Structure 1
Amino acid sequence: MIEYTVVIPTVGRPGLPALLHAVADGGDHAAREIVVVDDRRRGDDLAMPELKVPTRLLRGDGRGPAAARNLGWRHATTPWVVFLDDDVDIGPDWHQRLFEDLAGQPAEVGAVTGRIRVPLPERRRPTDAERGTAALESARWITADIAYRVSVLEAVGGFDERFRRAFREDADLALRVSRAGYRVEEGRRLTFHPLKPERVFASVTAQAGNHANALMRAKHGRRWRQRIGEGSGMLGRYVLTTGLGLTALVAARRAPRLAVAAGIGWAGLTARFAAARIRSGPRDPAEVARMVVSSVLIPPAAVGARLAGELRYRRPRRPAAILFDRDDTLIVDVPYLSDPTAVTPVAGARDLLDRLRAAGIKVGVVSNQSGVAKGLISRDQLAAVEAAVRDALGPFDTWQVCPHDDGDGCDCRKPAPGMVRRAAADLGVDPADCVVIGDTGADVAAAGAAGARGILVPTGRTRPEEVEWAAEFAHVASDLRHAVSIALDGGA
């Protein structure tokens, strides 16, 4: 029997009760539990209908769908979790198809997507907004309906909560899941996504997604669009259009000929852009007016959002804190170390830590210690080893330990981001102002999931694929001294 939890982040859309009833009415293939995450910033608690399956309402904090989904799946007690948007309609045989999609999947399949259908008008061409919604039908890994193994979400740390909008967070997760060695398959179940209401400036405000594109580039390299199956995008044309427009404005007084030439170029590109959008639509006066106005505003909005994202995610910054893995990073690794007399610092570690302290940079430890869960290390022994490390290496501003084992469902065991986030909160700094240094891919992945920078210092036990991944998407250092240099300088 396939057991799954349905997680629905919501901002209180009116179709939520109908969706909940449809999800709960699954007969023998119904979910074990439905988890609704109310992600509104304020307001009274949502009124939840009486349903045939247990339903839990969690309160988010308005940090966006990625954070809301993380909150939901971390409360799941089933092997699978199915994410649904709060405005979709599931097909009449959705539960049976879901069961067939998940049944018998091999362990290397980490997720199974649903098929999305968007009903378009039959008697006219779709508007620009309707075409945008219809693009969801061909989108890969869309979280409007996708099932993930909880163990896989734990392994990669879940969604990256820096994606504050419902954009790119699904592709980022799927890329990380694929890099971790799992496959994302397409299922047969059918889910219907409604058209979004027409808003005059919806296509302009949507350009805020270019901020997320900058984060995708920072995390997945320059070829990230090819990795998710997209073309090159429109940014280059937007940059040219915006540049010509700015040139025309700046040169208007001192170089009128240049201003005229730039203005003609800007007008030509803008007219071509607007004409292409108008040609594909219904061409009624209201739609034409929307296309003309928005075609003027879209290029600078897109360029501004992308520039802000590049500055946010690509600019090297001196870190406020450096967080270190313990074993094989600060001290020589002894499996399930319980004897404080066996603590041996890595060569040069004390000197490097003292230099950081003198420079006013906070230092901390984030360490997986599954020996506690396995019964191989007692809490007292763990504390004694910690004290020995402090005696050898000096004081630390924060010390975070995960005592859990794989499968315990915690949010702290790396590559989950919990310890990194708690360390940052303990220090009173933003995770983005932290650097995590460790010897495994889990250390680097935990950093990325928390929004920090990660640096890998490989040892003889670091897997080659971890080094290869870190070399492309993070930093790889030759030793601890080199890692600290990268952290301070922002590059290799």
Structure 2
Amino acid sequence: MTPAPSYAVVVPTVGRTRLAALLASVRQAAAVGPAPEEVVVVDDRPVPRRGPNPPLDLGPDPVPGVRVLRSAGRGPAAARNAGWRSVRTEWVAFLDDDVVVPPLWADALAQDLAAAGPDVGGVQGRIRVPLPGHRPPTDLERNTAGLERARWATADMAYRRAALQAVHGFDERFPRAYREDADLALRVRAAGWDLERGVRTVEHPVRPAGGLASLRAQAGNADDALLRALHGPAWRTRTEAGPGRLPWHVATVAAGLTALGAGVTAAALTDRDPHTTRVVAALAGAAWAGLTARFVHERLAPGPRPGDEGHAAEVRRMIVTSVLIPVAAVAHRVRGAWRWRQGLGRTVPPWPLPVRAVLFDRDGTLVRDVPYNGDPDAVEPLPGARRVLDGFRADGLFVGVVSNQSGIGRGMLTGAQVDAVDRRIRRLLGRFDTWQRCPHAPEQGCSCRKPEPGLVLRAADDLGVLPAECLVVGDIGSDVGAAVAAGARTVLVPTEVTRTEELTRAPAVAATLDEVVTLL
């Protein structure tokens, strides 16, 4: 009997209360069908200014093998990248943190993956959104139900890890849970892989979102601008996204601005007849009112009827948001177009972004590892370190150091002693563009000690580059973990202290520092 393909489950989360229910349902499904090799929960809550995030609620009996990573609030695309880059299974099943899988999900997933031919890079699950049976659905409920027709939605999408590697995963310039999955699907297909729809299902409940949820959702228009810049004006056809309402919103805003401008002009005319301007203002105002009324009607007509629970509140919501949505949609689209078309010129670089900065671990990578070294005279650069650094500098790349120095937090070293050692390293190895260190002991629970992403994120911010434009070079798993969590690329250069499992998990391994150059 052919064994089921190996898979891991990756769940990005911002700490929603439904996470525990999802993990409980995965545990139940794994008891019936083939279990995942591991479940990776990626905590994408922003890093607090002081101390770590409060622990996630994984439920009273979490899935065996569950592992939590941090991605520091960089968005679901970055969180999913951190998750899949940390596993070594043939397949990666992405689930949203607010879905629930049925008891036979793992068995159905195994069937989907086993049926996938060698050219299949991804298999989508079927999403079911439970809607109320006692009344027509609200606007929010209908929008959520649209996931049932969505293509390649990562609420339940399994990708072959080789396909993810081929396109370097999700484009982390998409900051929201919107369009990042469509962009990935287009790039996977362009790389020669097929995408299929499987037989498994998940349930995606409608989560409470507040009265202005539809207004906040208009921020996705900026992501539409990025998708257009990357994939051309036919992106909606290629992603099967449908025509969208932006042209209607543009017409509504144009009519409103015309009416307002003409009205102000008419009021200011004192030396000639403002009749024509008033006519223009009236016609434009009527057009705005008509377009807005049509929008309100389109959103209210399929919804709750008079006498239904929540009808009055839905009417108020639809009137207020229908007035505001066209303005918000156009403003966000203009903002996105400016950023991705004019702000960066008319060419948006494809994903992955080129490396602009190389960040090195200090001890065991650039210099011989002397535990808790506070003596500058004990500094000994490793073979090739100066040559490799000078080569990167000559190529115009930033170079920096990201180093754990827990000896300070443990009381074994002073900050001044570590400063003296760092100065000695600079004298021997040359100029560094950024130098970041964590002085905390492990028990202090900081967000900068590797494998937490803080040092890498601080270095990227200091250099004015994106984390995705950084390469982290280190000799142990915590260096790799920090890079993965921060969204940087990483190369492991093993030493005698590198553990076998760290070698196995590393995305890339170089035998020497000189070999790192060939892996850029």
Q: TM-score range by the shorter chain?
A: 0.5 to 0.7
| Residue segments in structure 2 that go unaligned for 5+ positions in a row | 267-277, 306-310, 359-381, 401-455, 470-486, 489-520
Q: Is 2:322 aligned against 1:287?
A: no
Q: Is 2:210 aligned against 1:199?
A: yes
* Structural mapping, 1:324-335, within 5 Å: none
CA distance in structure 1 between the partners assigned to 2:391 and 2:319 by the alignment: 69
Structure 2 equivalent of residue 301 of structure 1: 328
Structure 2 equivalent of residue 398 of structure 1: 398
CA distance in structure 2 between the partners assigned to 1:167 and 1:317 by the alignment: 22
Deviation at 1:290, TM superposition (A): 1.2
CA gap of 1:427–1:230, structure 2 versus 1, over 3 A, is same
Deviation at 1:426, TM superposition (A): 8.9
- The worse-fitting range, judged by mean Cα deviation, of 103-112 and 264-273 is 103-112
Deviation at 1:427, TM superposition (A): 8.0
Structure 1 equivalent of residue 102 of structure 2: 91
Residue identity matched to 2:55: D
Residue identity matched to 1:13: R
**Secondary structure of the residue that 1:282 maps to in structure 2?**
coil
CA distance in structure 1 between the partners assigned to 2:70 and 2:468 by the alignment: 27
User: Which residue among 174, 181, 185 is the counterpart of 1:174?
Assistant: 185
Matched-pair contact (CA < 8 Å) for 2:15–2:57 = no
TM-score (structure 1 length as normaliser): 0.67
- The worse-fitting range, judged by mean Cα deviation, of 116-125 and 424-433 is 424-433
Q: How many residues align?
A: 362
Matched-pair contact (CA < 8 Å) for 2:296–2:319 = yes
- The worse-fitting range, judged by mean Cα deviation, of 245-254 and 260-269 is 245-254
Structure 2 equivalent of residue 34 of structure 1: 39
**Secondary structure of the residue that 1:8 maps to in structure 2?**
strand
Residue identity matched to 1:297: L
If you compute each CA radius of gyration, which structure gives the higher value, 1 or 2?
A: 2
CA distance in structure 2 between the partners assigned to 1:175 and 1:395 by the alignment: 32
* Structural mapping, 1:363-442, within 5 Å: 396-398=396-398, 425=460, 428-431=463-466
* Structural mapping, 1:70-469, within 5 Å: 70-197=81-208, 199-255=210-266, 256-283=278-305, 284-315=311-342, 317=344, 396-398=396-398, 425=460, 428-431=463-466
Residue identity matched to 1:68: A
CA gap of 1:179–1:425, structure 2 versus 1, over 3 A, is same
| Residue segments in structure 1 that go unaligned for 5+ positions in a row | 326-362, 367-378, 401-420, 435-449, 452-492
CA distance in structure 1 between the partners assigned to 2:238 and 2:158 by the alignment: 21
Deviation at 1:24, TM superposition (A): 2.2
Residue identity matched to 1:63: R
Residue identity matched to 1:11: V
Alignment root-mean-square deviation, CA: 3.2
TM-score (structure 2 length as normaliser): 0.64
Residue identity matched to 2:90: P
**Secondary structure of the residue that 1:89 maps to in structure 2?**
coil
**Secondary structure of the residue that 1:86 maps to in structure 2?**
coil
Structure 2 equivalent of residue 46 of structure 1: 56
Residue identity matched to 2:173: R
Deviation at 1:68, TM superposition (A): 0.8
Deviation at 1:122, TM superposition (A): 1.1
CA distance in structure 2 between the partners assigned to 1:297 and 1:265 by the alignment: 16
CA gap of 1:249–1:18, structure 2 versus 1, over 3 A, is same
Deviation at 1:53, TM superposition (A): 2.1
Structure 1 equivalent of residue 476 of structure 2: none
% identical equivalent positions:
50
Deviation at 1:317, TM superposition (A): 4.1
> 1:106-144, CA deviations, whole angstroms, 9 ceiling, x for partnerless residues?
221011110000111112111111000000000000001
> 1:206-261, CA deviations, whole angstroms, 9 ceiling, x for partnerless residues?
11110110000011100000001122211111011001111111221323222111
CA gap of 1:212–1:388, structure 2 versus 1, over 3 A, is closer
Q: Is 2:27 aligned against 1:24?
A: yes
